[in-house]
Amino acid sequence: MSIALEHQWRWDISCQLHELALDAADRLGGGGARAALLRNLGEALRDGGSDVGRAAECFSEAIALFHSSGDAHGESDALGNLGILQRQQGELQNAAQTLTAAESLFRALPLERGLAWTLREKAVISRHHTHYTEALAQLDQAEALFAANEETRGVGWILRTRADTEKESTVGGCPLPRRWYTGPWPGRPVTSPPSQDPRWAAAHTHYEHAAQLLHAVQDHRGHTWTTLGLADMALYDGDPTAAELISRALQETDACGDHRGHSRALTLQVLLYAEAHRLSDAITLAEQALTGPRDHVGAAQTSFLLARLYGAAGRQHDALHTLQESRTHHRAAGMPFPDLPDTELCRTLNRRVPRAHRFRRHQ
């Protein structure tokens, strides 16, 4: 029933069901069943966001059980799932090691589907580390495997991740549009607006194609993250459609219990409020977004945005403290961060709010 409950986003019932099944397996002495159930329970706990610590314990025990029984297929799958959890929490170094171990098993089996998903996860890590060429090469391999196996859903996720990579490579991974932050950022171009870069147009095209494929296979979570990508692009471009896209993403993440997606949508809503000169509302919402699921990557970006908002509000002490938190999260995730002293970098944040953009009439 795990697949049916996953499609209905009933993570709570799925967890209860797997706990009952684990009890039955233990009474029957089914070690193989216990390993498979722990792997599935870990997925439900991770995707539902209810207890990621327990999810990690489930995956780790499942890995050990599969390994001791010589089940390389189960072990590789459990390793891949643990790697996804670590990546989602922003523990990118640990995730890369775990996913590399999974990749070795998938190649040896061979198991193309598992290998493709693992390569996609590794590409996300490469993107966060601004290794964009490496990320695109990993996505090329994964897309070829999905296409060869006629897996439309996988191709849709690859297209979305490719769009993420193209979008972020255009701005060097900087979490704020240039009109909000003109200070230094490693790898960020200093010339033309993103919209004039061919990678920006390619990202938009790939998001649109991904949205079509994921809608067709009814992958609501994947489709929502595509919407978030398009909303982010609209914010950078000053496009008023950002408001509608963010509203849709908030509704969709609520419906499917996607806590990480919801935090990301809140962060985009923060900038939308700020663009409309609702600075107090933006600060309150950014503070709320930072209380979401533990994730060094998301916290790194949101805390940098919050530091900028504090600076715009003249709250220099709060801006400096939050900037230091952002630096800590960037370092924990291995993500590039400006190589300047905090006090000097903070001065680039303590500037007036940009002129209200076209978002104002939509608020």
HEC string of 178-225?
CCCCCCCCCCCCCCCCHHHCHHHHHHHHHHHHHHHHHHHCCCHHHHHH
Cβ(23)–Cβ(29) below 8 Å: no
Tens digits of pLDDT across the chain (363 residues)? 888 888 788 889 999 999 999 999 999 986 789 999 999 999 999 998 878 999 999 999 999 999 999 999 999 999 999 999 999 999 999 999 999 999 999 999 999 999 999 999 999 999 999 999 999 999 999 999 999 999 999 999 999 999 999 999 999 899 999 889 988 999 876 666 888 899 999 999 999 999 999 999 999 899 999 999 999 999 999 898 999 999 999 998 988 888 889 999 999 999 999 998 899 999 999 999 998 777 999 999 999 999 999 999 999 999 999 999 999 999 999 999 999 999 999 999 998 888 766 665 444
How is residue 117 written in tokens?
């998903």
pLDDT of residue 315: 95
Closest CA to 31 of 80, 70, 81, 76: 70
| pLDDT at residue number 361 | 47
pTM for the full model? 0.94
CATH 1.25.40 fits 151-363, yes or no: yes
Q: How far apart are CA 188 and CA 66, in angstroms?
A: 44
**Phi and psi at residue 29, in whole multiples of 5°?**
75, 35
pLDDT in the model for residue 359? 63
Map out the domains of the chain as residue ranges.
151-363
How does DSSP classify residue 358?
G
Provide the pLDDT for residue 358: 63
Say how far apart CA 126 and CA 103 lie, in whole Å.
15
SS3 76: helix
Rounded Cα distance between 201 and 89, Å, is 30
